[in-house]
Structure 1
């Protein structure tokens, strides 16, 4: 394994729930709204409205409504968290989703992530 396998600052692309299956076993960033916290897991709403399950780090305390989960996609709708960035109590998920879709547009994606 390379050192970037566990480095939350390593290059990772932002995704929504619809894009996650294309990134199995890859590190991603998922801007989202926290819907439910339960023990070592969370259910979040991605920017496109889809629900994603997150396996939290031990002793992780998510305190904000909106967060960005940095982690590894282990199933099409599940992420293993490596880090979490609090984004505050208010976030325009439609704007976030529009930005994610632009990032993945073939006109731009190859120039940014290849």
Structure 2
């Protein structure tokens, strides 16, 4: 059975070293095997891409392994682009609610 991959923001990354997480973010720069993204809480995160991976959408959810306090090794990406801009403050509020003790049973770490 696979472990859950919690949705995180940049401030929560250090608590998940070595674990697989989901990072909703906005792509700021993607070049070669590295990308810089802005997490939903406004913090910047380095994404270490695979040689054949590409971040072509503006808003994505990156599924990856946390390899540093502000770095993720890319495993998979899901485009979150639509005809409207994603409200990152709202996304961050949802991320933070998943860590609220009142909802611990609903969102296992």
Pair 1:29 & 2:26 matched: no
Structure 2 residue ranges without an equivalent (≥5): none
* Aligned pairs for 1:40-79 within 5 A: 40-79=33-72
* Aligned pairs for 1:1-114 within 5 A: 4=2, 11-88=4-81, 90-113=85-108
Q: 1:37 to 1:109 in 2, by over 3 A?
A: same
Aligned partners of 1:29 and 1:91: how far apart in 2? 16
Q: Which runs of 4+ in 1 moved over 3 A?
A: none
* Structure 1 residue 32, shift from structure 2 partner: 0.1
* RMSD across aligned positions (CA): 1.6
Q: Deviations over 1:33-78 (max 9, x none)?
A: 0001121000000000000000012211221100000000010100
Structure 1 residue ranges without an equivalent (≥5): 5-9
Report the 3-state secondary structure (helix = DSSP H, G, I; strand = E; otherwise coil) of the residue aligned with 2:80.
strand
* Count of aligned positions: 107
Aligned partners of 2:100 and 2:74: how far apart in 1? 26
* Structure 1 residue 16, shift from structure 2 partner: 0.2
